[in-house]
Structure 1
Amino acid sequence: MPSFTYKALRVHEISENQVERSITSCTLDDLPPGEVLVRVHYSSLNYKDALSATGNRGVTRHYPHTPGIDAAGVVEESSDARYQRGDEVIVTSYDLGMNTPGGFGQYIRVPADWVVPRPQGLSLYESMILGTAGFTAALALHKMEQNGQHPDQGPVLVTGATGGVGSSAVALLAKAGYQPIASTGKQDLHAYLEALGATEIISREAVDEPLRKPMLSSRWAGAIDSVGGSTLGTAIRACAPNGNVATCGLVGSPNLSVTVFPFIIRGVNLLGVESAECPMPLRLQIWQKLATTWRIDHLSQIAHLCSLDHLNGYIDLMLQGKTRGRIVVDLR
């Protein structure tokens, strides 16, 4: 394809420990080798993207860089027979947006093994309302159900409920027949959580009890936690016998302080959820469920659409904890 310019949000290192973000003109020569070139229609903003956009070396090692761990668009070129020009595809996870230029640019070039055909039942836009956050929430529920979780056992706690993973988890649990208990510190968003399907809303403090007792009274049959730290510890200690607690985030803290008692007395199961390197057969299965039996009703309630030109402001708001649901970026 002839070289031309396209727009991308680029993060430049201007001095040690200081970066600057700007909308920059790029060419296809700025992209790495790969079998599939995709014209990105939509991306979405994740916490990992916000970290990459501020120069966090734990996410992105080399700058200048284009963040965006999610992308959905149309194949422009492919040297792999599985994909043809015009195919609508999703690319999330792996190294996209970390050290490989990501979805905050109008084009990406990636290995064919990273690409997922858009499942029937989801548009490109809807797939990015879900993105990594929705996929992670679905993977968490899948692992819980593989380990015996069932709606009849009782309600399931969702921490960080107004965030990307949390909002998706509340809506997904409701769709799958569960009773979601939503934990949040944002009192002004209770109506939002109720609209997603939360049957009970509790404060952030109610899931942040100091480790004075090794176990607490059972309050939920399972949990999907994206906060970590003492919140995850409380979710474990207050989980009912044989319940499953899925952990998939550390926005509060990466540390966990609990005793073994919930595990050896109540049989509580702690399930780690890692979506970046999820095997492709399981990845395809989860996306198919999200497009069919687990298709969230009223997906648009979770989303706010923004342009690439306005993305900078939303990155700052996310780092301040002032966003809700999913920020979808329109790159068309």
Structure 2
Amino acid sequence: MLDLHDVSQSIDATDLRILQALAQSGSLTGVSEALHISQPAITQRIKRLETKLGVPLTERFGRKIRLAPAGQILASHGAKIVAELEVALDKISALCDTRGGEFRLVGFPSASATIVPEMMRAMREIAPVVTFKYREAEPPEALELLSQGEVDCAIIFDYQSTTKLPSNVIYEQLWYEELNMVAVSSDPRIKPGRRIRISDFQQDHWIAGCPKCRGHLLTAAAEQGFAPDIVQETDNIPAMIAMVAAGGAVAMVPELALSGMRMLPEGVHTARMIPARQRSVGIAFLGTTQPSPAVKLAYALSSRVDYRRWNLQLLND
């Protein structure tokens, strides 16, 4: 038997907005563009809600997707709920603009030099009276700060959906980036425009990054049948690349970190890998029945980020 109380507790405003946008656009691409939510996240939310309700909410119609009868009912009634919520949030936002307030964000080091400054500039236009408070931490520590209520939102990265989220935290992927091999320019395996295999470097010494990055390196190497000989470890990406330039070791570095550097040290080249190694970048926040003003602000700020400048890509590109 369907537990309506349980289902009502699991439906939030984002679910209702997705159904409304789907009714208008008839495609996941249209919903993604309208709400700035990745297609995988949209699909995941719809499937989760269908499982709770026990009925399909969408159906295929040729190449398009449309709402099933249950989806139409939920979207119709949800429109009133979302409208009331928007009014309440606008009033809260106005209150913040009048009295000031704080927006507390935590992010990882590579984001500190790229994504975060763009969000800070956008804040001066969107909410100039609100104070932008920022601190830096790798994803595990950032998620702990978020779960404990010490920050409002977190910018984190995730390798192949391996991050273990606290039970009260939601992670929405916004972009993805490729990882690069970094080696001395005299290395014949690194050539402009050529993709290389990580297994080509199984006899080399390696430099590893933060624990999550180190774990991904170990996983990627294991998939190609070897264990990397890690001889140096540092969370500092510029230092890591400088160590590579000094000779004797190679490293795997995310695109965002490379883009944040004005120039690479002399004597260093980079190359993309085959198969491509990627990680997602997005926003983590506390899961509630309705988005807080801080989360709404975080999405507004992230939509102002020129992600192409940092060689990031949208998940549905």
Q: Calculate the TM-score normalised by the size of structure 1.
A: 0.29
Higher strand proportion: 1
Greater RCO, 1 or 2 (C-alpha within 8 Å, sep 6+): 2
Larger Rg: 2
Q: Calculate the TM-score normalised by the size of structure 2.
A: 0.30
